[in-house]
Amino acid sequence: MNSDFKDKAAAAAKKTWCVLWNFTLNTGRRLKILGRYTLACWQQQKINKASHTLGVKTFQALEQGEANPLMAPEVNGAVQKVKELKEIKEKNYQAIAAIREKICSGGAQPAPEESGGEEGSQ
């Protein structure tokens, strides 16, 4: 009886430790996600500024009589900058998705169900 109590206490302590460890690990992962979202907001501001610059340069190219303003070197450079910033932001969101997947799959695994011979009986 005494060894039963010790075994149950050890199992409870182990389960408590695992839950606490999982909680701590996931809290760290959530803080990473928060940092990534902050970075994404900053990147969105940079995209907005680059888009504004693209619009200004396109308008200037049109005022100069350019038939196809996207072929102007200044405008083409601004387009490339906007594309690069959007790719960086997309990679950031992919990293957030990967962290979320770790959180979802990193939980405690369910204990295997013991079959008491009641399967299949109705």
4: its two tokens: 């039963």
Residue 102 has pLDDT above 60, yes or no: yes
pLDDT of 107 reads 57
Q: How far is CA 115 from CA 28, 68, 98, 118, in A?
A: 37, 73, 36, 7
CA distance 122 to 120: 6
Domain ranges of the chain: 2-104
Among candidate residues 118, 108, 120, 86, the one with its CA nearest the CA of residue 17: 108
Q: What is the mean predicted confidence (pLDDT) over 65-91?
A: 92
Reported confidence tier of residue 1, pLDDT bands at 50, 70, 90: low
Distance, CA of 1 to CA of 7 (rounded, Å): 10
Span 98-111, average pLDDT:
74
Task: Encode pLDDT of 6-48 as tens digits.
Answer: 888 999 999 999 999 999 999 999 999 999 999 999 999 999 9
**Rounded to an integer, what distance in angstroms lies between the CA atom of residue 90 and that of residue 34?**
16
pLDDT of residue 66: 86
Is the distance from CB of 18 to CB of 108 less than 8 angstroms? yes
Distance between CA atoms of residues 97 and 15, nearest Å: 28
- 122/29 Cα distance (integer angstroms): 44
Residue 101 pLDDT > 80: yes
* Prediction pTM value: 0.69
Q: How far apart are alpha carbons 21 and 16 in whole angstroms?
A: 8
Amino acid at 18: C
